[in-house]
Amino acid sequence: MLEKLDKVFDPEKVIEEFEYLTKDAKRIQTETLRRILKENGEAEYLKKWGLNGKTDPESYSCCVPLVTHKDLEPLIQQIADGAPNPILTSKPITTITLSSGTTQGKRKFVPFNDELTETTMQIYRTSFAFRNREYPIGNGKALSFIYGSKQFKTKGGLLAGTATTNVYRSEQFKKTMKDMQTPCCSPDEVIFGPDFQQSLYCHLLSGLIFHNEIQVISSTFAHSIVHSFRTFELVWEELCSDIKTGSLSTRITVPTIRTAMAKILKPNPELADKIHEKCLRLSNWYGLIEELFPNVKYIYGIMTGSMEPYLKKLRHYAGGIPLLSADYGSSEGWIGANVNPTRPPEMATFAVLPHIGYFEFIPLREIGVASQEHSVCNERRPVGLTDVEVGEEYEVVVTNFAGLYRYRLGDVVKVAGFHNATPELQFVCRRNLMPTINIDKNTEKDLQLSVEAAAKLLADEKLEVVDFTSQVDLSSEPGHYMIYWEVSGEASEETLKKCCNCLDSAFVDAGYVSSRKIHAIGPLELRVLKRGTFQKILDHYVGLGSTLNQFKTPRCVGPVNHTVLQILCNNVVKSYISTAFD
């Protein structure tokens, strides 16, 4: 086991133990499965599948079926409603995690327990140990854009909140951040404040107050860092004025936040003038972060997958500060740590920790007969952690200590290599995010690449895509893709027309291209949105109780996501139809 939290934190020791565990990954996986099944032998769910005390991987995969969240939903609901019997775990579940629901539009309930907090800390500490070898930090603070969303009680009296909230509220989190010499510079009242706009403003203010001590700028997902500095562009003069006078802006109305900030905010006209001067000197805010925080060593957060589109902007703000991509996990539990911190974020991989769960992988390379019209896809049997092949793509299947057994996470990963005997995974995309119109199989990644290609055309006009999403419109025949863009300024008609054609022709999926050629899929539509539309979408999700920490712009909005569709439709200012396949 990795060292326990109550011991003194020694990064080299953490690495040593990680090496030991990953060298013996196969045995550790078998042992982890044995522990999970033994600990939960009394759970009705496991009893139902007739394991009869068997804990070996073969019996497990023979007896227990693969499931999705939908299959488990009624059971998790019973737990949330306070059922007294052991349903998924032997020990009662006392906390429920709410997934962000931002990828697919629906929030999910997931069981949570202390084991998951513990594994989260192990992931944090492992990647920190490797990071610290390359980018050592001294004693200091972190400007962490983190938020504790509201927690509430379920019908059965269980505490429910987002995974990040459950973690940030834990004592272990504080201890780990202290061990890593990066305690958060903002007061707790800011992190756990009831209004995220006010918290965000105070995070920025706290960062500026402690600017010399800030060693790391971080958030769970990189979107939040970009969003914070976009906000900085709007409120910087107000922040300077607060620092100059030592009195907090009237926009902060939450009494607990005001009291907490009053303790750290003192008049400092010199600092205010310095910040003011720096901001005026910057060209289009390039290098803002390194200007404001002279001792920052790196910027840290998840930058892969749906976060990649924000990297360009983040690099712009960062100037020369390195960007380090964080680990891979979900509300259902963590999976892997980034142990190669020097790789550029686009190349980040995640070494699976073999003792934090039992992992299986469904190979996604198709087998079976591929005919002209239909490619017959027979899903293949999952393989074990150490049996995956380099270069292959898989869907991740998780068995954890909190009652998920052979649970399909819905993420697609690619095996980039191995660290000892454990695979290093590259995140590819969510599975089945884009619905099919004809025989097309576009993925979230294809969409991202197409947007990237078309956005290059905006660069000539010094404009950028602030954010994007898509919709598949089947209301008329043939169906077609609609891509929504928020652009940083007014682009010319000519350029937007070109962007629209480029979006359409940049999709490389053979099914899409051939369907477009024979007009079985209609011309792609580019819809340009009013500035601020994605802020409205974010506000909508936060209003539903989601947290900014875990926010991911939904890349394809489904037909049942009425509110988001409504926001999009109400804010379209221009629309273009592709002529790429005319």
Closer residue to ligand AMP, CB minimum distance, 330 or 386 = 330
Residue 117 and residue 160: Cα distance in Å, rounded?
14
Shortest distance in whole angstroms from residue 111 CB to ligand AMP? 13
> Is the CB of 190 or the CB of 412 nearer to ligand AMP?
412
CB of 325 to ligand AMP, least distance (A): 7
Distances (CA, A) of 488 to 256, 311, 576: 36, 16, 18
> Percent helix, strand, coil in the chain (nearest 5)?
40, 20, 40
Q: Which residue lies nearer to ligand AMP by CB, 414 or 516?
A: 414
H or E segment at 198? Answer: helix 196-209
3-state per-residue secondary structure call for 379-424 = CCCCEEHHHCCCCCEEEEEEECCCCCCCEEEEEEEEEEEEECCEEE
Q: Kindly state the helix (H) or strand (E) to which residue 445 belongs, with its residue range.
A: helix 444-459
Task: Specify whether the CB–CB gap between 188 and 267 falls below 8 A.
Answer: no
100 binds ligand AMP (CB under 6 A): yes
Q: Smaller CB distance to ligand AMP: residue 131 or 211?
A: 131
- Which range binds ligand AMP by CB under 6 A, 42-50, 77-85, 323-331, 382-390? 323-331
User: How far apart are CB 535 and ligand AMP at their closest, in Å?
Assistant: 20
Q: Which of 11, 207, 305, 345 binds ligand AMP (CB under 6 A)?
A: 305
Buried b (16+ CB within 10 A) or exposed e, 157-178: ebbbbbbbbbbbbbebbeebbe
Site string for ligand AMP, 118-157 (x = CB under 6 A): ----------------------------------------
Q: Which stretch binds ligand AMP (CB under 6 A): 56-64, 124-132, 302-310, 510-518?
A: 302-310
Q: Is 354 in the site for ligand AMP (CB under 6 A)?
A: no
Name which position in 430, 445, 516, 555 contacts ligand AMP (CB under 6 A): 430
Point out which residues pair with 470 in neighbouring strands: 483
Compute the least distance from the CB of residue 312 to ligand AMP, in Å. Answer: 17
The residue from 427, 507, 512, 576 that contacts ligand AMP (CB under 6 A) is 427
**Does residue 411 belong to the site contacting ligand AMP (CB under 6 A)?**
yes
**Three-class SS state of 81:** coil
Segment contacting ligand AMP by CB under 6 A, of 198-206, 254-262, 301-309, 384-392: 301-309
99 counts as binding ligand AMP under rule CB under 6 A: yes
In angstroms, give the least distance from the CB of 415 to ligand AMP. 15
Q: Given candidates 95, 442, 470, 550, which one binds ligand AMP under the rule CB under 6 A?
A: 550
- Let me know the angle formed at the C-alpha of 526 by 521 and 530, rounded to the nearest 5 degrees: 150
Least Å distance, CB 163 to ligand AMP, is: 6
Cα–Cα distance measured from residue 303 to residue 429, given in angstroms and rounded to the nearest whole number: 13
Judge contact between 217 and 289, C-beta under 8 A.
yes
By Cβ distance, which residue is nearest to ligand AMP? Answer: 305
As a whole number of angstroms, the distance between CA 463 and CA 459 comes to 5
3-state secondary structure of 3: coil
Which one, 159 or 248, has the nearer CB to ligand AMP?
159
- The DSSP code sequence of 91-134 is SPP-EEEE---TTTS---EEEE-HHHHHHHHHHHHHHHHHHHHH
Stretch that binds ligand AMP, among 71-79, 133-141, 325-333, 359-367 (CB under 6 A): 325-333
Among 93, 96, 226, 302, which residue interacts with ligand AMP (rule: CB under 6 A)? 302
Task: Establish if 330 lies at the interface with ligand AMP (CB under 6 A).
Answer: yes
- Answer whether 329's CB lies under 8 Å from 353's CB: no
What is the pattern of x (binds ligand AMP, CB under 6 A) and - over residues 469-508?
Answer: ----------------------------------------
Is 95 among the residues that bind ligand AMP (CB under 6 A)? no
Length of the chain: 582
Kindly tell me which residue out of 124, 192, 328, 481 binds ligand AMP, with binding defined by CB under 6 A: 328
Q: Is 331 in the site for ligand AMP (CB under 6 A)?
A: yes
Question: Least separation, in Å, of the C-beta of 552 and ligand AMP?
Answer: 6
Pick between residue 100 and residue 578 the one whose CB is nearest to ligand AMP.
100
Nearest distance in Å: CB 161, ligand AMP: 12
For the record, the structure tokens of 527 come out as: 């819809």
Q: Is 206 in the site for ligand AMP (CB under 6 A)?
A: no
Determine which helix (DSSP H) or strand (DSSP E) holds 15, and give its type and residue range: helix 11-23
Q: Which is nearer to ligand AMP, 291 or 411 (CB)?
A: 411
Total residues interacting with ligand AMP, rule: CB under 6 A = 15
Q: In what order do the strands lie in the sheet with 323-325?
A: 141-144, 214-221, 298-302, 323-325
d(CA 242, CA 267): 8
The helices-and-strands tally (H runs, E runs) of the chain is: 20, 20
Q: What is the Cα gyration radius of the chain?
A: 24
Considering only 301, 329, 345, 357, the residue that binds ligand AMP (CB under 6 A) is 329
If the CB atoms of residues 183 and 305 are measured against ligand AMP, the closer one turns out to be: 305
Q: How far is the CB of 286 from ligand AMP (least distance, A)?
A: 26
Which residue, 203 or 445, is less far from ligand AMP as judged by CB? 445
The Cα–Cα gap between 60 and 65 comes to 9
Q: By the criterion CB under 6 A, which residues form the site for ligand AMP?
A: 99-100, 163, 302, 304-305, 328-331, 409, 411, 427, 430, 550
